[in-house]
Amino acid sequence: MASDEHDRGREPVTGLTEVEGAAAGAAVAAAPAAAPKVLSPWSDTWRRLKKNKLALIGLGIIAVFIVVGIVQVIAYPLTDGRGLTPYDPNAENYSLSPTGHGSSPSLSHPMGTDYLGRDILSRALVATRISLLVGVIAVAIGLIIGLILGPISGYYGGFVDTVIMRLADIFFAYPYILFVLLIMTVLGPGFVNVFLAIGILGWASFARIVRGQVLSVKSMEYVEAARAQGASDLRIIFRHVLPNSMAPVYVTIAMSVGGAIVTEAAMSFLGIGVQPPNASWGKMISDYLNYLFAGSWWMVLFPSVLLTVTVFGFISFGNGLRDATDPRLKE
Partner 1 sequence: MLTYIVRRLLQLFIVLFGVSIITFVMLYVIPGDPARMLAGKNATEEKIQEIRVQKGLDKPIYIQYGKWLGGVLQGDLGESYYLQQSVGSMIVENAPNTIQLALAAVLIELLGVPLGIYSALRQYSFWDTTLTTAALIVWGIPVFVLGVFMQWFFGLKLDQWLGVDIFPLTGAGDNVLWVIPASWESLMSLVLPAVTLGVIEVAYISYMQRASMLEVIRSDYIRTARAKGLAERKVVGKHALKNAVIPVMTIAGIDLGALLGGAILTETVFARPGIGLMIYEAIGRRDAPVIAGGVLFATVVYVFANLFVDLGYAAVDPRIRLEE
- Using the rule CB under 8 A, which residue among 11, 93, 222, 235 binds partner 1? 11
Give the footprint of partner 1 on residues 233-272 (CB under 8 A): 258, 262, 265-266, 269-270
Side-chain-side CA neighbours of 166 within 13 Å: the count stands at 7
Question: Which residue in 108, 185, 232, 290 binds partner 1 (CB under 8 A)?
Answer: 185
Residue 214 to residue 20: CA distance in whole angstroms: 14
* Binding of residue 188 to partner 1 (CB under 8 A): yes
Q: Which stretch binds partner 1 (CB under 8 A): 23-31, 80-88, 237-245, 315-323?
A: 315-323
Q: Does 316 interact with partner 1 (rule: CB under 8 A)? A: yes
Mask of contacts with partner 1, 37-56, x by CB under 8 A? -----------------x--
Would you count residue 174 as binding partner 1 (CB under 8 A)?
yes
| Sole window of 98-106, 127-135, 246-254, 308-316 interacting with partner 1 (rule: CB under 8 A) | 308-316
Measured CA to CA, the distance from residue 55 to residue 49 in angstroms comes to 7
Cβ distance to partner 1 smaller for residue 27 or 226: 27
> Using the rule CB under 8 A, is 60 a contact of partner 1?
no
Q: Is the peptide bond before 277 cis (omega within 30 degrees of 0)?
A: yes
| Stretch binding partner 1 (CB under 8 A), from 64-72, 140-148, 224-232, 297-305 | 297-305
Stretch that binds partner 1, among 83-91, 97-105, 166-174, 202-210 (CB under 8 A): 166-174
Give the span between the Cα atoms of 113 and 302, in whole angstroms: 11
Tell me which residues in 266-295 interact with partner 1 (CB under 8 A): 266, 269-270, 285, 289, 292-293
Mapping DSSP onto H, E and C, the string for the chain reads CCCCCCCHHHCCCCCCHHHHHHHHHHHHHHHHHHCCCCCCHHHHHHHHHHCCHHHHHHHHHHHHHHHHHHHHHHHHHHCCCCCCCCCCCCCCCHHHCCCCCCECCCCCCCCCECCCCCEHHHHHHHHHHHHHHHHHHHHHHHHHHHHHHHHHHHHHCHHHHHHHHHHHHHHHHCCHHHHHHHHHHHHCCCHHHHHHHHHHHHHHHHHHHHHHHHHHHCCCHHHHHHHHCCCCHHHHHHHHHHHHHCHHHHHHHHHHHHHHHHHHHHHHHCCCCCCCCCCCHHHHHHHHHHHHHCCCCHHHHHHHHHHHHHHHHHHHHHHHHHHHHCHHHCC
Amino acid at 25: G
Residue of the chain from 140, 181, 196, 226 that contacts partner 1 (CB under 8 A): 181
Instruction: State yes or no: residue 2 binds partner 1 (CB under 8 A).
Output: yes
Beta partners for residue 119, in sequence order: 113
Contact string 67-106 vs partner 1 (x = CB under 8 A):
----------------------------------------
3 or 40, CB closer to partner 1? 3
Given 27, 82, 297, 327, the residue binding partner 1 (CB under 8 A): 297
- Choose the stretch contacting partner 1; rule: CB under 8 A; options: 15-23, 97-105, 107-115, 142-150: 15-23
Tell me which residues touch partner 1 (CB under 8 A). 2-6, 8, 11, 13-16, 18-19, 54, 166-167, 169-170, 173-175, 177-178, 181-183, 185-186, 188, 258, 262, 265-266, 269-270, 285, 289, 292-293, 297, 300, 304, 307-309, 311-313, 315-316, 319, 328-329
